[in-house]
Amino acid sequence: MEKHDKIYIAGHRGMVGSAILRKLEKEGFSNFVMRTSSTLDLRDQNAVAAFFADEKPNYVFLAAAKVGGIVANNTYRAEFLYDNLQIQANVIHNSYLNSVKKLMFLGSSCIYPKMAPQPLREDYLLTGPLEETNEPYAIAKIAGIKMCDAYRAQYGCNYISVMPTNLYGYNDNYHPQNSHVLPALIRRFHEAKEKAIPLVTIWGTGSPRREFLFADDLAEACYYLMQNYNEPGLVNVGTGEDVTIKDLALLVKKITNFKGDINFDSSKPDGTPRKLMDVSKLHSNGWKHTIELEEGVALAYKDFLNKYVAAY
């Protein structure tokens, strides 16, 4: 990418898109084209076609998606499949029609089979059944990967697919029902502390293991890969390290300074037992994360206090 190139970041106000925008601005890029969901509905084929025809971006970061945690994924199954398929299809196809030089598609680690060997290697894709609770979202993301590869194979498009592990950071979603595990824990522990609630109950046994990557580290990886990576298939982006939900809860408890107790409700679902990314492909391409979990959670909690607590 050259500094004068026009760059479209789909989803620029979300956690991932805003991190990518900050990184690009830091690197001296300024020719951005962006639309909020209220001004451009990416599910609308005609609206997306008109936008690309008018703006003609050179590079596209496709970070827009309908996302959420276990509850949201399981409750809005049709929307998670339909909305994400529409967004991807419209952006990828119109990038091709308007000669976008390069597109990066952002997926998720939930694309891998529920019982796949650990750590998760890129070639484990489509080797077994998916986790039931987020299957519609995963199927949409798998379709996005395959669509990028199909446009590469048939039309020679330089479209790459990046699969981040669980993300957290600035501008995260702290909705009580629709957030992912780490921001949900930050909010729960903070509210318990503020309301002097003596016990925080967490779904599941606490034994599943999860890997977490700070969103600004993902943005660093995305910038690096957009400059240096041009292969079909997909590349995992993560830390290569994981932690139990119990240990994560204890870390959030410490950082939020909650003094009460934790109860794990084993009658609730755990989800996938483990989701650790094999990041050897990424490391061999020359990139490694820099923000460790405790530092990142402290940064995220500070952001939560600055942006969300004041809105209560």
* Nearest alpha carbon to residue 271 among 215, 202, 218: 202
Residue bearing tokens 């680690």: 109
Active site residue 82: no
Q: Give DSSP secondary structure letters for 18-30.
A: HHHHHHHHHTT--
Beta-strand runs (E) in the chain: 7-10, 32-33, 59-62, 102-106, 159-164, 166-168, 199-203, 209-210, 212-214, 235-237, 243-244, 261-265, 274-275
Token reading at 179: 């957030």
Report how far residue 39's alpha carbon sits from residue 41's, in angstroms, rounded to the nearest whole number: 7
**Composition of the chain by helix, strand, coil, percent to 5:** 45, 15, 40
Whole-Å CA distances, 45 to 37, 218, 284: 14, 29, 38
Query: Which residue numbers belong to the known binding site for NADP(+)?
Result: 11-17, 106-109, 141, 164-167, 180
User: Alpha helix locations (H) across 98-244?
Assistant: 135-155, 181-194, 215-228
Residues 120/277, Cβ–Cβ less than 8 Å: yes
Cβ within 8 Å of residue 147, ≥6 positions away: 88, 89, 92, 105
Residue with the two structure tokens 């789909």? 10
CA 14, 15, 21: angle at the middle one, nearest 5? 80
Pull the structure tokens for residue 193.
Answer: 């502390």
Q: Is 265 helix (H, G, I), strand (E, B) or coil?
A: strand
* Given the residues 137, 151, 168, 301, the one annotated as active site: 137
Report the catalytic residues. Answer: 137
